[in-house]
């Protein structure tokens, strides 16, 4: 599986500790056949409910375009070049690079995951 690259202009909304924190952006360039330049996307970070996770469990960034979700392998801000206070300023418009899988996310049953919140299903 070869990851596919996206360049996205966008920003995070909400505080890092809020469960509904969401990245909103527009695709600038894409090597993904299912995601085109100009499309509006969102990214969320999903993790288990408990705050302290065992070392074998980690959260994941999920990119949503229209009604399809793609797991992200990497999601980095191109405008932040060094660690420190600047890396916490992610609510301003910036350029982000994402690496995604070619196929949409699936559930444990093998079905494609819905990008709609559970209460809207």
End-to-end, the C-alpha distance of the chain in Å comes to 31
Distance from chain centroid for Cα 46:
9
pLDDT tens digits, 68-118 = 999 999 999 887 766 666 556 788 899 999 999 888 986 444 444 444 443
pTM surpassing 0.85?
no
Other C-beta atoms within 10 Å of 43: how many? 21
Q: What is the pLDDT of residues 37-81, one digit of tens each?
A: 999 999 998 876 655 556 556 778 999 999 999 999 999 988 776
Tokens of 119: 């209460």
Both tokens of residue 13? Answer: 């909304």
Residue 37's pLDDT is: 97
Q: Phi then psi for 88, rounded to 5 degrees?
A: -95, -5
């Amino acid at each position: 599986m070869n990851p596919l690259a996206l360049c996205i202009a966008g920003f995070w909304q909400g505080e890092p500790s809020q469960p509904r924190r969401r990245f909103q952006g527009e695709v600038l360039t894409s090597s993904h056949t299912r995601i085109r330049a100009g499309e509006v996307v969102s990214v969320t970070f999903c993790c288990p409910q408990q705050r302290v996770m065992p070392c074998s469990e980690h959260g994941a960034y999920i990119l949503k375009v229209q009604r399809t979700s793609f797991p992200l392998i990497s999601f980095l801000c191109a405008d932040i070049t060094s660690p420190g206070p600047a890396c916490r300023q992610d609510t301003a418009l910036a350029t982000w690079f994402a690496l995604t899988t070619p196929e949409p996310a699936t559930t444990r049953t093998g079905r494609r995951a819905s990008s709609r919140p559970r209460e809207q299903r």
